Amino acid sequence: MKVLQSIAVNRNCRHAQFLFPIAPNSFTMESLENYLLKKHERLFAFFQKSVDALVVALAWGVAFTIRFHIMEGGQTGLELLFLKLTPVLIILTFYFYYQNGLYRSMRFNNRYIEIFAVFKANFMATLSFVIFLYFFAETRLSRIVLIYYFLISSFLLILTRMMVRNFLRALRRRGKNLRYILLVGNGAQFEQYIETMRDFKDAGIEILGWAESDGLAEKLKVPSITGTLKELINEFSPQTVVLGYNHKSINRLEEVLKDNYDELTPIQILPDLSYSFIGHRIEDFAGVPLLNVNHPHITGLQSFAKRLFDFLCTFFGLIILSPLLLFLGFLVKMTSRGPIFYGQDRMGLDGGSFKMWKFRTMKMAESDEDQTTWTTKDDPRKTTFGNFLRKTSLDELPQIFNVMVGDMSLVGPRPERPFFVDKFKDEIPAYMLRHKMKAGITGWAQINGWRGDTSIKRRIEFDIYYIKHWSLWFDIKILFLTFWKGLINKNAY
C-alpha cells in the first residue's frame, strides 16, 4: 500500500507542477517534454496541424513547380493562383482530417489504421479540391499537377505522421507521455483487456490499481486497492476509470454510475461479452446505441477486399487450371456412367441454401441416401477414379465456379448439408455461428486436420476461431498452408 501511496503522491505532484511546469532552476529536456506532451495536448495538436499545413503547402509547391516550371509545355504567371489556392487545400485537409479522427489520440490504433485514415482523408481533400476548381477557379489547371500533388502529399503526410508516432512511442518506452487508469469491477473481461494492454506497450497505459476485483487483481498481477470510486479518484488522480462487472454484479455497476454521475474524470465501461462468441458491433440508431452481439468484426471494406481477392484468384486460377479441369472431367465421364459434375444443397452465409458443385465421385444413386449419410472409407458407392479424386481433394475444384458467382469464398468454414445442420445445431453449442461467414473451399479447421470423419465439435472451435480472427492475411496463410501441407489427407474419403 505504501508503494501505491507513493505513486499517488507522485501523481499529485505532477498536478502541482502544472502551475510551474518549467521552473528556472529545474529546466530539463524531461520537464519540457512533460510540459508539451502531458500537460499541453492542445499545444501538441497545434504543432501537428502546423506540420500538416506546411506539408500540404510544400507538396502543392513541388507539384506546381514540376508541372509548370520543369516539364515541357509549362506556363508562367501562375504564382498568384498558386498562393490563392494553397489556403483552400490546407482548409480542406484540416476538415477531412477532423472527419477521420486524425486530430484525436491514435494511441490505441495500430499504424496501418492511421496510414489508411491519412490516405483516405487526403484523397477526399484532393477530390474536393478538384470539385472546387471546377466550379470556382478562373484558370483551368492541368490534371497532372493534381495527380502529382496527391501522390507527393500522401507520401509526406504519412511520413510525418509515422515520424511523430515513432517519437511518441520512444517517449512512452522511456516512461513519458503515459496514460494512467484505474480498474474497478469483478468482470472476467478484464483478463483479455489487461493482456491486450500488456501486448500493446506502445500505447503507454499504466494501471494505478484495481478495486473490487474479487481476487482477479492478484491473479493478473495488478495492484489491488480498496475504497469508493470518489476516494480512489481523489487519491490516485487517474486520467481514466474503467468499470467492468460480471452479469451477477450488474446492479453494482448501476450503483457506481449513479454515485459518480457528476465525476469529471472520464469513465469507461468494459462490457461482459462472454456470450458473444464471434464478435460484436455498435450501431447508432438515431442517437440510440445498439450493441450487435455475435457479429463478425469484418467491415464493409474488408468484405469487399475479401470478395475482390476471391474473384481475382478464381478468375486467373480458372485460366490456369482449365486444362486440368477438362482432363479430370473427361476421365470422370470415361470411367463411369453419369454426369461429370454433381451438385449438392449446402447451407451458406446467414443460413442461405446454395448448390455446391463437385466432380462426381460416386455411382449414380437411386435415392437421396447420400444426402443423409456420411461417406465412409470403404464406401461401395464410390467409383475407382472418384476415390482418387476424393483422396487428393481434386473433386472440390469445380467449387471455383461457386466462388466466382459469390456463393462461396476461397477460405471459410466448410458448408454442410441441411440435414446435418438440423442435426448438429441442437447438439453442438454455437454450431450455427459458423454461418456468419461465407463458406469456403478450404478453411482453418481443414488445414489442421479436422475434416471428414473427425470431431464436429473441434471443427466448430476452429471455425469460430477463424471468424473471430479473420484478416486477409489469415486467408492468404490458410491458402498457403493448404498447398504446403498437400491436398492429400488421411481423413478425406
For each of the chain's 493 residues, which pLDDT tens digit applies?
433 433 343 444 433 333 333 344 444 444 444 444 455 567 777 888 999 999 999 999 998 888 776 766 555 656 777 788 899 999 999 999 999 888 887 777 778 888 989 999 999 999 999 998 888 776 677 788 889 999 999 999 999 999 988 888 888 888 777 888 999 998 888 888 888 888 777 778 889 999 998 888 888 889 999 999 999 999 888 989 999 998 888 889 889 999 888 888 889 998 887 776 777 777 777 778 787 777 787 877 888 999 999 999 999 999 999 999 999 999 999 988 889 999 989 999 988 999 999 999 887 764 344 555 666 666 777 888 888 888 888 989 999 999 999 999 999 999 999 888 988 888 888 888 889 999 999 999 988 888 776 788 888 889 989 998 898 999 999 999 888 776 555 555 4
Cα gap 305→471, rounded to integer Å: 10
Residue 452 · residue 492 · CB < 8 Å = yes
Mark whether 46 and 152 lie in a shared domain: yes
Cα gap 308→321, rounded to integer Å: 19
Cα pseudo-dihedral 94, 96, 100, 102, rounded to 10: -20
- Which residue shows C-alpha cell 456470450? 275
Strands 179-184 vs 205-211: parallel, antiparallel or unpaired? parallel
Strands 280-285 vs 267-269: parallel, antiparallel or unpaired? unpaired
pLDDT the model gives residue 106 = 78
Mark whether 309 and 432 lie in a shared domain: yes
Which pTM value belongs to this model? 0.58
Domain membership flag for residue 281: no
CATH of the domain at 247: 3.40.50.720
Structural domain including 93 reads 41-173
Mark whether 245 and 321 lie in a shared domain: no
Domain membership flag for residue 310: yes
Cα gap 354→344, rounded to integer Å: 8
Residue 349 · residue 435 · CB < 8 Å = yes
Cα gap 270→253, rounded to integer Å: 11
Rounded alpha-carbon distances, angstroms, from residue 104 to 435, 452, 491? 37, 50, 52
Domain membership flag for residue 286: no
Mark whether 311 and 345 lie in a shared domain: yes
Last residue of a domain, one of 146, 173, 200: 173
Domain membership flag for residue 292: no
Residue 59 · residue 152 · CB < 8 Å = yes
Domain membership flag for residue 280: no
Residue 384 · residue 287 · CB < 8 Å = no
Domain membership flag for residue 151: yes
Torsion sign (Cα): 132, 137, 143, 147: negative
Domain membership flag for residue 291: no
Residue 446 · residue 463 · CB < 8 Å = no
Number of independent structural domains in the chain: 4
Mark whether 95 and 71 lie in a shared domain: yes
What pairs with residue 365 in β-bridges?
none
Query: CB neighbours (10 Å) of residue 440?
Result: 26
pLDDT the model gives residue 144 = 86
What is the Cα 264 distance to its own chain's centre?
A: 32
Mark whether 184 and 156 lie in a shared domain: no
Mark whether 66 and 12 lie in a shared domain: no
Domain membership flag for residue 417: yes
Mark whether 392 and 438 lie in a shared domain: yes
Mark whether 457 and 316 lie in a shared domain: yes
Last residue of a domain, one of 123, 142, 173: 173
HEC secondary structure over 409-438: EEECCCCECHHHHHHHCCCCCCHHHHHHCC
Mark whether 459 and 380 lie in a shared domain: yes
- DSSP code for 373: S
Mark whether 123 and 256 lie in a shared domain: no
Axis-axis angle for helices 300-335, 384-392 (nearest 10): 150
Mark whether 131 and 248 lie in a shared domain: no
Grid cell in block for residue 475: 486467408
Grid cell in block for residue 13: 505532484
